[in-house]
């Protein structure tokens, strides 16, 4: 990605210490990072820390470095402004259009994407004043992240925790790739996403698995949640991924467990996105003790396989049978290779017809493609015969394109 000029605003909450990691990661990615804290923020983290991490001087007031007119210039020159943490007070001042310090003045002059990452106690986050302020900022075009749930200051837990730095910077990268990637257009929708690769146990040590990292499914869940959906993520084995903020995560291991979780949660959902790599087969019997290699003359063990149920096709049938009355869109995924019978799209079209889903995301797989990488590309096939390319980019960018297609499909069905 081309290196950008990013302003990191820091307001006065205990989560200000996490802004240090945000700044460090952005600077290490090669971006020019200007930290603009409030006076209250400097009571938690000193200016010297932010200067050391960013390599640029830190000011808080509009009368600092007056000849450079920073209260206007910083916002005008930025490619993106991210405020992390954004306290309830900062959100209120931004809504009111206050300009009584350098950060709020910068927010008034910025014409680039603005991202707020709220952090506050649950009661403050849920207070009608904060709810109204967040809605106003979103109406004005700002992106306000859903906070994470977890440990807050003291012994309190609940929604209001600042998302991890990696998640904030993932959204930053998405907005730098595509500034309109996160409209708040899924409010009131319930979305069920599956992700990761299932593992089918052979014995207590070994399993049949696949190369899925879960990154694409997690990205879809993250984008859908930040676009307003109530998201449940059924997560099979993933590569140590951070749970997306604002997402309810259900952990599973095998294909049967994933199928059971989909059966449980699908009746409440309007959208199902089956991004998980579900094993087609499982061992007919699972050994209760480790299978020993034994002496060389013992012969080779044989593992009998039986077919797993097709979870995606099962959901399509359940909807047709009236068991999923709320379901409006079912999205499948296909990891394909070409062979002597046809290319990737040939096999994908056949799979779409066979599965009966509304949309099918198609990835060509191979060394360094689709699995275990951070980027992706492919095609989006629809049941009505339309096809479109998903251009190369981050998996989060691809997730935003997939969610676009879901939103458009829902608009045509409602």
Q: Does 333 count as an annotated binding residue?
A: yes
377 annotated as a binding-site residue: no
Here the contacts of 248-253 (C-beta below 8 Å, separation 24 or greater) are 252/198, 253/198, 253/199
Q: What is the pLDDT of residues 370-407, one digit of tens each?
A: 566 778 888 999 999 999 999 889 999 999 999 999 99
Contact 106, 7 (CB under 8 A): yes
Does residue 343 have a pLDDT over 70? yes
Report, as an integer, the average pLDDT of 321-335.
Answer: 95
- Tell me how crowded residue 265 is: count the other CB atoms within 10 A of its CB: 18
Using CA atoms, how far apart are residues 373 and 394, in angstroms rounded to an integer? 9
Does 355 count as an annotated binding residue? yes
| Domains annotated on the chain, with CATH | 5-177 (3.40.50.1950), 190-412 (3.40.50.10300)
Residue 4 is labelled as binding a ligand: no
In angstroms, the CA 86 to CA 164 distance is 14
The string of pLDDT tens digits covering residues 17-53 is 999 999 999 999 999 999 999 999 999 999 999 999 9
Predicted confidence band of residue 318 (pLDDT cuts 50, 70, 90): very high
Cis before 85 (ω within 30) = yes
227 pLDDT exceeds 90? yes
Measure the CA angle with vertex 44, ends 38 and 45; round to 5°: 80
pTM of the model: 0.92
Per-residue pLDDT tens digits for 66-93: 656 556 889 889 999 999 999 999 999 9
pLDDT in tens, 278-304: 999 999 999 999 988 877 767 778 899
190 is in an annotated binding site: no
Is pLDDT larger for residue 105 or for residue 366? 105
Burial label for 360, CB within 10 Å (0-12, 13-18, 19+), is: buried
Q: Which residues are catalytic?
A: 210
Band of pLDDT at residue 409, cut at 50, 70 and 90: very high
């Amino acid at each position: 990605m081309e290196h950008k000029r990013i302003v990191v605003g820091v307001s006065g909450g205990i989560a200000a210490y996490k802004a240090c990691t945000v700044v460090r990661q952005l600077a290490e990615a090669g971006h020019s990072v200007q930290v603009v804290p409030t006076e209250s923020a400097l009571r938690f983290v000193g200016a010297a820390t932010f200067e050391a991490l960013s390599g640029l001087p830190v000011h808080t007031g509009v009368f600092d470095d007056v000849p450079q007119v920073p209260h206007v210039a910083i916002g005008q020159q930025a490619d993106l402004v991210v405020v992390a943490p954004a306290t309830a007070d900062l959100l209120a001042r931004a809504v009111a259009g206050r300009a009584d310090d350098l950060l709020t003045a910068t927010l008034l002059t910025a014409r680039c994407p603005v991202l707020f990452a709220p952090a506050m106690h649950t009661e403050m986050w849920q207070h009608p004043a904060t709810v109204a302020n967040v809605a106003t900022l979103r109406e004005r075009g700002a992106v306000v992240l859903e906070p994470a749930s977890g440990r807050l200051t003291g012994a309190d837990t609940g929604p209001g925790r600042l998302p991890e730095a990696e998640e904030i910077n993932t959204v930053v990268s998405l907005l730098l790739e595509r500034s309109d990637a996160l409209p708040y257009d899924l409010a009131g929708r319930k979305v069920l996403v599956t992700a990761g690769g299932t593992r089918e146990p052979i014995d207590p040590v070994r399993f049949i698995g696949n190369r899925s990292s879960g990154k694409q499914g997690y990205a879809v869940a993250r984008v859908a949640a930040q676009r307003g959906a109530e998201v449940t993520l059924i997560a099979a084995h993933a590569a140590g991924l951070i749970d997306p903020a604002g997402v309810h995560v259900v952990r599973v291991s095998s294909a049967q467990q994933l199928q059971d979780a989909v059966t449980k949660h699908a009746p409440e959902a309007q959208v199902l996105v089956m991004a998980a790599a579900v094993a087609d087969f499982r061992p007919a019997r699972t050994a209760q003790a480790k299978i020993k290699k034994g002496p060389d003359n013992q012969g080779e063990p044989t593992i009998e396989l039986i077919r797993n149920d097709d979870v995606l096709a099962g959901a399509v049938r359940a909807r047709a049978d009236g068991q999923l009355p709320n379901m409006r869109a079912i999205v499948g995924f296909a990891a394909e290779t070409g062979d002597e019978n046809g290319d990737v799209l040939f096999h994908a079209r056949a799979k779409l017809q066979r599965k009966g889903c509304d949309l099918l995301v198609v990835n060509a797989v191979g060394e360094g493609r689709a699995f275990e990488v951070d980027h992706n590309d492919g095609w989006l096939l629809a049941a009505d015969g339309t096809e479109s390319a998903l251009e190369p980019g981050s998996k989060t960018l691809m997730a935003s394109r997939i969610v676009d297609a879901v939103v458009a499909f829902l608009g045509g069905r409602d």
